[in-house]
Amino acid sequence: MSRPVIGLSTYFEPAEWGLWSIEAALIPRWYLDVFGEAGADLLLIPPGTSPDVLARVDGLVIAGGADVDARLYGEISHETADAPRESRDASELALYRGARDRDLPFLGICRGAQIMAVAHGGALHQHLPEVTDMEHKRAPLVFVEHAARLEPGSRIANIFGAQDITVNSFHHQSIKDAGDLVITGWAPDDTVEVVEMPQAGFAVGVQWHPEHPDRRVIDRPLIDAFLDVCRA
């Protein structure tokens, strides 16, 4: 079976290793492991890379990370929001739009789903504790698990063969308005968990983290479904 080449977004952050303490283009190894184990080769894409790079890959993944700049959807940043990562926002929006224009298979993870919504004219809840009493983020690096319900007949429900699943959660922002995307998954408090572009070959954004080591078996159907379309 052929190994599809997947473009994976990275981001600039301060980093330390050996004698070095400088800004670096980063991505958690979890992402490399989950896609590599599923049979893909990866092309890491740093901010500022031309969307022309998409001609060299079979699919695109935008990873989780810092909050999307609220100015991109016409709001003032909440006091709890992360400092804007302007180069990352601009790069990932350009990459996503390029993938959409090419009908290149796309998977958005956490922030990646939010980028997808913003690119389609949507907006975000900037601080979920002001919107819901349900816990979506407990502490640094502590993931919460909760139920999610999936729209019958949606791509995501067909992938899992179920309408009720369990997902993990580590976010304080979420999709408020999906623009012209279709919402196909919700947490018990109606927080958006999945968005799709049904007319695309594969364009799905999930609010949870399938790359987490504890999710490798549970979420393998999602990774496999994405890579199957990439291979085609």
| Active site amino acids | 110, 209, 211
Rg, the chain, Cα only? 17
What residue segments make up the domains of the chain, in order of their start? 5-231
Q: Token digits for 100?
A: 């959409």
Query: Alpha-carbon distance 210 to 167, whole Å?
Result: 9
Question: Residue 1: what pLDDT?
Answer: 65
Candidates 164, 196, 190; CA nearest to 178 is 196
Question: Residue 82: what pLDDT?
Answer: 77
What phi and psi values does residue 208 have, to the nearest 5 degrees? -90, -175
Per-residue 3-state assignment (H helix, E strand, C coil) for 113-170: HHHHHHHCCCEEECCHHHCCCCCCCCECCECEEEEEEECCCCHHHHHHCCCEEEEEEC
Q: What is the pLDDT of residues 86-134, one digit of tens each?
A: 999 999 999 999 999 999 999 999 999 999 999 999 999 999 889 888 8
Query: Alpha-carbon distance 100 to 111, whole Å?
Result: 17
Q: What is the pLDDT of residues 48-82, one digit of tens each?
A: 999 999 999 999 999 998 889 999 999 988 888 77
Can you give the pTM of this predicted structure?
0.95
Candidates 16, 77, 80, 9; CA nearest to 46 is 9
Contacts 24+ apart (CB under 8 A), 215-220: 215/168, 216/34, 216/37, 218/166, 220/38
Query: Alpha-carbon distance 102 to 116, whole Å?
Result: 15
CATH top class, domain 5-231: alpha beta
Q: Token digits for 170?
A: 């580590």
Report residue 137's pLDDT band, with 50, 70 and 90 as the boundaries: confident
Question: Residue 222: what pLDDT?
Answer: 98
